[in-house]
Structure 1
């Protein structure tokens, strides 16, 4: 049963369309253009528009698109009652009769104006200025280009996480570390399925848990990418990089989103890997350390990703040592 919306006035939507001199077909076309720019899930046509102007309440993405098209908020378009003091308007979509694009800084500043102090010990103006400055730096850096996804993979103890952190420090791009994102849930899921919390070598982990682990990582990455945020992913990616089909699907999806990809494989010698693993002392590495020769027999030290990729030679810790030197210089150190 449909929810009753006593504050909804569908006639207001038709009035705004007619005021703009748009037909039902014109409106559908403009809504589809807005949907493409903002990744809204709508497929507007004249029948859809007619329904919204009569007896079908639009979904959230449609309402947002209407607000952008007509330059009005939801209350002004008759979707709901106005909030106290609600008078902000969004800029209309540029048309031949209105060729001037809205001022970007003012539009961002107006949107940030919704952030207000909840308590007396915070400053909304300080936060807004910080966010505005970050937007300006981001927009200048990414002007004319889409976001980038960097996949940093390698065996346990190869130094991939340290190298990913180095790239994050240089670029300011967020790092999504698989273990940081999923380890507590993975541990508890293994226990719930009858396994051991720190197990990363059994069939239970490989078949039931690992796919979910990587799915969480990738979904978090797509959330960033959809916001235009370049992202560094830190995970072994051993199985993924070994499959040309997985690599091709990933590249195709990135291409469809106008996202560039950099696949980096961090290679390392067994002695250095063991040294790294012993140093971090993680419980999940217990089996590796107890059966080191058996573990080495399960990995291919000559492995390379299937498809375009870069290689970081971290044998004997050489690459990480250089990254450490660079970090020291950037932080004002050095002799």
Structure 2
């Protein structure tokens, strides 16, 4: 069995750090190889070049122009790359905000994803407080965050925590100050093998 696992959430919530921390234990617990597909790693350079050509600012990736014309193709290619790996028997851990897809429940639409019932599908929503996220964004000093910080009041309107029908089947993870027990609980919910997980998590860094 292969797994398609999404780590989604807003900027500054620690999606990538969490994914990298859990990747090896996830492979061990599931007994399947995984690839890590991070949107920024896969498409960051291309998007920077495209925006530099269009606007003169390679870091202008939160502007209306980017969101209207480049965002969706990036995400579509990300999903397609995950599906190619799944067809080769390699599970995929996908890291990206995917907030619109969460709102529209697309990540639970197997037809939209292009996957069959043989793929174990898990969607994790990584969240933290707005102020924690903002401080982390400031601390990492990534030029790609410049638009967010300069237009924070506008950007913060896009932030949300899924609830009600939108949050059904989501694995919610508060990444403000996670403990080893929190990591273990998340890994167990992804894999569904508590006994195997319990023998792996002590290897995770605290």
TMscore range, shorter length? 0.7 to 0.9
Q: Deviations over 1:39-88 (max 9, x none)?
A: xxxxxxxxxxxxxxxxxxxxxxxxxxxxxxxxxxxxxxxxxxxxxxxxxx
| Residue 310, structure 1, aligned to residue 171, structure 2 | yes
Aligned residue-pair number? 183
Q: Secondary structure of the residue that 2:49 maps to in structure 1?
A: helix
Go from structure 1 to structure 2 and tell me whether the alpha carbon gap of 1:220 and 1:204 turns closer, same or farther (over 3 Å shift). same
Greater share of strand:
2
Match in the other structure for 2:189: none
Go from structure 1 to structure 2 and tell me whether the alpha carbon gap of 1:328 and 1:228 turns closer, same or farther (over 3 Å shift). closer
Separation in structure 2 between the aligned mates of residue 290 and residue 215 of structure 1, nearest angstrom: 28
Separation in structure 1 between the aligned mates of residue 153 and residue 179 of structure 2, nearest angstrom: 25
Root-mean-square deviation (CA, aligned residues, Å) is 2.8
Go from structure 1 to structure 2 and tell me whether the alpha carbon gap of 1:265 and 1:176 turns closer, same or farther (over 3 Å shift). same
Separation in structure 2 between the aligned mates of residue 176 and residue 255 of structure 1, nearest angstrom: 17
Match in the other structure for 1:46: none
Match in the other structure for 2:21: 166
Match of 1:197 among 53, 58, 61: 58
Q: TM-score, normalised by structure 2?
A: 0.77
Q: How big is the shift at 1:321?
A: 9.7
| Residue 330, structure 1, aligned to residue 203, structure 2 | yes
Match in the other structure for 1:275: 135
Q: Following TM superposition, where does structure 1 have runs of at least 4 consecutive aligned residues deviating by more than 4 angstroms?
A: 251-255, 304-307, 319-323, 326-329
Which protein shows a greater Rg? 1
Show structure 1 runs of 5+ residues with no match: 1-145
Go from structure 1 to structure 2 and tell me whether the alpha carbon gap of 1:281 and 1:253 turns closer, same or farther (over 3 Å shift). closer
Separation in structure 1 between the aligned mates of residue 123 and residue 167 of structure 2, nearest angstrom: 10
Greater RCO structure (CA 8 Å; 6+ sep): 2
CA contact (8 A) 1:195 1:204 kept: no
Separation in structure 1 between the aligned mates of residue 73 and residue 203 of structure 2, nearest angstrom: 38
Show structure 2 runs of 5+ residues with no match: 28-33, 184-197
Q: Secondary structure of the residue that 1:193 maps to in structure 2?
A: helix
Go from structure 1 to structure 2 and tell me whether the alpha carbon gap of 1:250 and 1:203 turns closer, same or farther (over 3 Å shift). farther
Go from structure 1 to structure 2 and tell me whether the alpha carbon gap of 1:273 and 1:281 turns closer, same or farther (over 3 Å shift). same
Q: TM-score, normalised by structure 1?
A: 0.49
Q: How big is the shift at 1:256?
A: 2.3
Match of 2:83 among 194, 214, 222: 222
Go from structure 1 to structure 2 and tell me whether the alpha carbon gap of 1:291 and 1:253 turns closer, same or farther (over 3 Å shift). closer
Separation in structure 2 between the aligned mates of residue 158 and residue 202 of structure 1, nearest angstrom: 20
Q: Secondary structure of the residue that 1:192 maps to in structure 2?
A: helix
